[in-house]
Structure 1
Amino acid sequence: MKNPVARLLDSGNLVVSDGDHEKNNARDIIWQSFDYPGDTLIAGMKAGIDLVTGLDRYYTSWKSVDDPSTGSFIGRLDPNGFPQFFRSKGYDKWSRTGPWNGRQFSGSPKLNPDGIYTEKFVFNEKEIYYMFDPINSTSANVRLKITPNGDIKHLIWNHQKKIWMVYFTEMVSDCDIYGLCGAAGICNTNNSPRCECLSGFVPKSPEKWKAVDWSSGCVRETELDCGTEVGFLKYTGVKLPDTQHSKYDLKISLEECRRSCLENCNCTAYANADIRNGGSGCILWFNDLMDIKGYTTDGQDIYVRMPASELVFALILMLAFWRRKQKKEGKKLTDTNRFIINRNFACNRTTSETMALNKIETEDWELPLVDLKRIVKATDNFSQDNKIGEGGFGPVYKGKMNDGKEIAVKRLSKNSGQGVDEFRNEVSCIAKLQHRNLVTLLGCCTEKGERILIYEYMTNKSLDSFIFVDQSRNLLDWPKRHHIINGIARGLLYLHQDSKLRIIHRDLKASNILLDHEMNPKISDFGMARRFEGSQTEGNTARIVGTYGYISPEYAIDGVFSVKSDVYSFGVLLTEIVSGKKNRLFSHPNHSLNLIGNAWKCYNEDALSGLVDEAILDSKNQMEVVRVIQTGLLCVQEDPIDRPVMSHVVLMLSSTMKLPHPKKPGFFMERKLRDADCLLSNSNFSSGNQLAITTILPRE
Structure 2
Amino acid sequence: MSSQDPQESAADWSSGCVRRTSLDCNQDGFLKFTGIKMPDSRNSWYNESMNLEECEKMCLADCNCTAYSNLDVRNGGSGCLLWFGELIDIREFSQNEQDLYVRVAASELDRNRWRKKSVLVAVISAVVATFILSFIAWFSFQRRKIRTGSEVENEDIELPLFDLVTVSTATENFSSANVIGEGGFGPVYKGILQNGPEIAVKRLSKYSGQGVQELKNEIVLISKLQHRNLVKLLGCCLEGDERMLIYEFMPNASLDYFIFDPSRKTSLAWKDRFEIAMGISRGLLYLHQDSRLKIIHRDLKTSNILLDSDMNAKISDFGLAKIFGGDQVEGKTKRVIGTYGYMSPEYAVDGKYSVKSDVFSIGVIILEIVSGRKNRKFHHLEHHHNLLGHAWLLWTEGKVLELIDECLKESFSESQVLRCIQVGLLCVQKLPKDRPTMASVVFWLGNEGLVLPQPKQPGFFIERNSMESSESTDEAYLSNSMSITVLEPR
Q: Which amino acid aligns with 2:464?
A: R
| Residue 672 of structure 1 pairs with residue 465 of structure 2 | yes
Change beyond 3 A, Cα 1:335–1:400: farther
Larger % of strand: which?
1
Q: Which amino acid aligns with 2:458?
A: P
Counterparts of 1:131-530 in structure 2, within 5 Å, are 337=143, 357-358=149-150, 361-530=153-322
SS at match of 2:191: strand
SS at match of 1:624: helix
Percent identity of paired positions between Structure 1 and Structure 2: 56
Give CA deviations for 1:503-554 in whole Å, capped at 9, x if unaligned.
0000000000000000000000001100111111110000111101010011
SS at match of 2:369: helix
2:396 corresponds to which residue? Answer: 604
1:584 maps to which of 376, 388, 391: 376
Give the drift of 1:356. Answer: 8.6
**Contact preservation (8 Å) 2:236, 2:244:** yes
2:454 maps to which of 648, 656, 661: 661
Change beyond 3 A, Cα 1:671–1:364: same
Change beyond 3 A, Cα 1:359–1:669: closer
Give CA deviations for 1:231-253 in whole Å, capped at 9, x if unaligned.
xxxxxxxxxxxxxxxxxxxxxxx
Q: TM-score, normalised by structure 2?
A: 0.67
1:554 maps to which of 346, 362, 367: 346
Supply the distance in 1 between the matched residues of 2:241 and 2:226 (Cα, whole angstroms): 28
2:332 maps to which of 518, 540, 555: 540
Give CA deviations for 1:615-656 in whole Å, capped at 9, x if unaligned.
111235111101000000000000100000000000010112
Supply the distance in 2 between the matched residues of 1:554 and 1:448 (Cα, whole angstroms): 40
Q: Which amino acid aligns with 2:439?
A: S
**Contact preservation (8 Å) 1:544, 1:691:** yes
Change beyond 3 A, Cα 1:673–1:561: farther
Larger radius of gyration: 2
Supply the distance in 1 between the matched residues of 2:472 and 2:379 (Cα, whole angstroms): 16
Supply the distance in 2 between the matched residues of 1:501 and 1:580 (Cα, whole angstroms): 33
Supply the distance in 2 between the matched residues of 1:335 and 1:364 (Cα, whole angstroms): 17
**Contact preservation (8 Å) 2:384, 2:469:** no
**Contact preservation (8 Å) 1:652, 1:659:** yes
**Contact preservation (8 Å) 2:147, 2:238:** no
Supply the distance in 1 between the matched residues of 2:244 and 2:372 (Cα, whole angstroms): 33
Supply the distance in 2 between the matched residues of 1:620 and 1:447 (Cα, whole angstroms): 50
1:629 maps to which of 421, 430, 435: 421
Supply the distance in 1 between the matched residues of 2:154 and 2:195 (Cα, whole angstroms): 31
SS at match of 1:545: strand
Give the drift of 1:610. Answer: 1.7
Give the drift of 1:691. Answer: 3.2
SS at match of 2:473: helix
SS at match of 2:246: strand
Number of aligned pairs? 342
**Contact preservation (8 Å) 1:609, 1:617:** no
Supply the distance in 2 between the matched residues of 1:410 and 1:417 (Cα, whole angstroms): 14
Supply the distance in 2 between the matched residues of 1:649 and 1:404 (Cα, whole angstroms): 39
**Contact preservation (8 Å) 1:556, 1:692:** no
Give the drift of 1:381. Answer: 0.7
Supply the distance in 1 between the matched residues of 2:157 and 2:487 (Cα, whole angstroms): 33
**Contact preservation (8 Å) 2:230, 2:314:** yes
**Contact preservation (8 Å) 2:151, 2:216:** no
Give the drift of 1:438. Answer: 0.1
**Contact preservation (8 Å) 2:336, 2:484:** yes
Change beyond 3 A, Cα 1:356–1:362: closer
SS at match of 1:469: coil
**Contact preservation (8 Å) 1:512, 1:523:** yes
Give the drift of 1:365. Answer: 3.2
SS at match of 2:357: helix
1:567 corresponds to which residue? Answer: 359
Supply the distance in 2 between the matched residues of 1:676 and 1:334 (Cα, whole angstroms): 57
Change beyond 3 A, Cα 1:517–1:673: farther
**Contact preservation (8 Å) 2:332, 2:352:** yes
Change beyond 3 A, Cα 1:360–1:624: closer
Supply the distance in 2 between the matched residues of 1:427 and 1:645 (Cα, whole angstroms): 27
Supply the distance in 2 between the matched residues of 1:655 and 1:394 (Cα, whole angstroms): 40
Give the drift of 1:672. Answer: 3.2
Q: Which amino acid aligns with 2:343?
A: I
Supply the distance in 1 between the matched residues of 2:148 and 2:225 (Cα, whole angstroms): 24
Supply the distance in 1 between the matched residues of 2:319 and 2:351 (Cα, whole angstroms): 17
Q: TM-score, normalised by structure 1?
A: 0.47
Change beyond 3 A, Cα 1:379–1:387: same
Contiguous gaps of at least 5 residues in structure 1: 1-332, 340-353, 683-688, 695-700
Change beyond 3 A, Cα 1:422–1:651: same
**Contact preservation (8 Å) 1:541, 1:559:** yes
1:160 corresponds to which residue? Answer: none
Supply the distance in 2 between the matched residues of 1:385 and 1:620 (Cα, whole angstroms): 38
**Contact preservation (8 Å) 2:300, 2:358:** yes
Structure 1 residue ranges (4+ consecutive) displaced by more than 6 angstroms after TM superposition: 333-336
SS at match of 1:495: helix
Give CA deviations for 1:29-62 in whole Å, capped at 9, x if unaligned.
xxxxxxxxxxxxxxxxxxxxxxxxxxxxxxxxxx
Q: Which amino acid aligns with 2:214?
A: E
Change beyond 3 A, Cα 1:443–1:673: farther
SS at match of 1:481: helix
Supply the distance in 1 between the matched residues of 2:163 and 2:467 (Cα, whole angstroms): 46
Give the drift of 1:367. Answer: 2.3
Q: Which amino acid aligns with 2:435?
A: R
Change beyond 3 A, Cα 1:414–1:533: same
Coordinate RMSD, CA, aligned: 2.4
| Residue 691 of structure 1 pairs with residue 488 of structure 2 | no
SS at match of 1:479: helix
2:17 corresponds to which residue? Answer: none
Supply the distance in 2 between the matched residues of 1:371 and 1:336 (Cα, whole angstroms): 17
SS at match of 1:662: coil
Supply the distance in 2 between the matched residues of 1:398 and 1:545 (Cα, whole angstroms): 27
**Contact preservation (8 Å) 1:468, 1:580:** yes
Larger % of helix: which?
2
Supply the distance in 1 between the matched residues of 2:181 and 2:401 (Cα, whole angstroms): 34
1:644 corresponds to which residue? Answer: 436
| Greater relative CO (CA pairs within 8 A, separation 6+) | 2
Contiguous gaps of at least 5 residues in structure 2: 1-138, 476-482
| Residue 614 of structure 1 pairs with residue 379 of structure 2 | no
Supply the distance in 2 between the matched residues of 1:505 and 1:673 (Cα, whole angstroms): 33
Give the drift of 1:360. Answer: 7.1
Change beyond 3 A, Cα 1:526–1:505: same
Give the drift of 1:358. Answer: 3.4
Supply the distance in 1 between the matched residues of 2:147 and 2:246 (Cα, whole angstroms): 21
Change beyond 3 A, Cα 1:631–1:498: same
